Amino acid sequence: MYPLQYDPHICENCSSVDCLTRCQYMHFDLKTAREEKNRILEQADTRVLADCVTCYACEEYCPNGNHPFYQIVELQEKKDFLPAPAPITRQQIVMMQPKGNLQPAKVSAPLVNLCAFPMLAGSIRGKLFEGAATVSGNDIFCNIMWLHFGKNSLIRERVPQSIERLHTFFLAESGLKEMVCFHDECYGAYTQLAAAFNMAVPFRPVHLFEYLNRRLDELKDNIKPLGAKVAYQRPCSNRLAPHTDLLLDEIFRKIGVERAVREYDRENALCCGGVLRGHQKDDLADDLQRRNIEDMRAAGAVYAVFNCPFCMFTLGEAVAEKGLFPILVSDLCQQALERK
C-alpha cells in the first residue's frame, strides 16, 4: 500500500551522486559516495543510515527527482536504524496520534491549515487574512514529521487519513477546492511527498508564499516598505518545494526588505538543530545554531525571519539574545501593512 516511487536503475546510472557529495553533515568524496550509494541500492548496512540528520536536503539535490531521502528512511526503518531514541519515538507516536473528535464544519475561503500549531492562530489576522478560516489539531496533522524518526510506515498510515479528513470534514463540506498551507511541512506533505508515495490529494494545496504574494498584490496601496535587511532561516521541509523560495524573494521585494546574502541560505541552508536535540545530538545542534546565528549577524541582518514554527521555537530566543528580531514571514508582511 502506497509504494515509494523510487527507481533503483536511475540511481545505478547516475554519475553525480549529488545526494551524498553535497550533504553538509556527512562528508564523502566521489569514490566513497558511490560506494555508499551502492550499499543503499543493495539494501545493505551503510553509515548513511546511522549518520543521516534527516534534513531532507538530498531530496532537493537529486538531479533525477528519485527520492533518495525517502529511500534512506525506508532502510532506516527496515534495518532498525532509528534516528531518535526508542522512548522518544514511542512518546511522539502516542502524543501526535489522531484524537478522533473532529466534526464536519462549513468554513469560508481562504481556508488556512495551521496543522499541529493552533497557537499560531494569532498570526491569521488583519487585511492580510481578511475573512480567513483556520483548522488545526492532531486529526488534520500532516504527519510528515515521521521522516525525522525513520518511520515511513506511519507516513503510509497517517498521511492519507489526514488528507481524507481535510477533504471530507472541511473542503468538500464547504465546496472549497483549495487550502492554504501555513507551514512548509503541510505543503510538502500534500504535494511532493504524497506524489512520491502515490497518494491521491483531492484538493489544491496552496503554499503560504503564493497566498501572501497574491494578497500583497491586492493590498499594494497599503504597503509601507520596511527598509530593513533580513536573514531567512530556510526550513528543512522547504527542500520539498524549492520553487517557493523564489516566491519569498518576491514577498521581500514587495514589502521593501533586503534578503541578506548568507553562507547558509538557499541550497546551502543549515538545519536549525531542533530535531537533532530530540535525537540527543546536542553537540551538533549547538554547532548548527552557532553557525546559523553568526552567519545572520555577519550579514548585517536586523530581522531573523522564519516560516517554520519549529525553527522559530528552536532559534527564536537565541537570535533575540544576539540582537536580531525573530519573526514569521507572515508577521513581517503584517508589519509592512500596519505601519502608521
pLDDT tens readout for residues 258-309: 999 999 999 999 999 998 887 888 999 999 999 999 999 999 999 999 999 9
Q: Which of 178, 211, 244 is the last residue of a domain?
A: 211
Same domain, 71 and 139: no
CA distance 234 to 184: 10
Is 286 domain-assigned? yes
Same domain, 272 and 308: yes
Is 14 domain-assigned? yes
Q: What is the mean pLDDT of residues 148-174?
A: 97
pLDDT tens readout for residues 194-210: 999 999 999 999 999 99
pLDDT of 30 > 80? The answer is: yes
pLDDT of 340 > 70? The answer is: no
Q: What is the mean pLDDT of residues 237-242?
A: 97
79-93, 187-201, 242-256, 316-330: range with lowest mean pLDDT: 79-93
Longest dimension (CA), the chain: 62
Same domain, 115 and 199: yes
Same domain, 192 and 296: no
What length is written for the chain? Answer: 340
Same domain, 247 and 160: no
Among candidate residues 58, 57, 88, 81, the one with its CA nearest the CA of residue 279: 88
The CA distances from residue 105 to 148, 176, 202, in Å, are 32, 12, 18
Q: Which of 191, 211, 231 is the last residue of a domain?
A: 211
pLDDT of 338 > 80? The answer is: yes
Is 87 domain-assigned? no
Q: What is the mean pLDDT of residues 205-221?
A: 98
Same domain, 104 and 205: yes
pLDDT at site 7? 93
Is 306 domain-assigned? yes
pLDDT tens readout for residues 81-126: 989 999 999 999 999 999 998 999 999 999 999 999 999 999 999 9
CA distance 258 to 260: 6
Q: Which of 78, 108, 124 is the last residue of a domain?
A: 78
CATH number at residue 283: 3.40.50.1860
Is 218 domain-assigned? no
User: CA angle at residue 277 from 274 to 279, to 5 degrees?
Assistant: 115
Is 88 domain-assigned? no
Is 101 domain-assigned? yes
Pairing mode, if any, of strands 303-306 and 178-181? unpaired
Is 185 domain-assigned? yes
Same domain, 231 and 334: yes
pTM for the model stands at 0.95
Could you give the number of structural domains in the chain? 3
pLDDT of 58 > 90? The answer is: yes
282-298 and 309-321 helices cross at what angle (nearest 10)? 70
- Residue 71 sits in which domain range? 8-78
Same domain, 187 and 99: yes
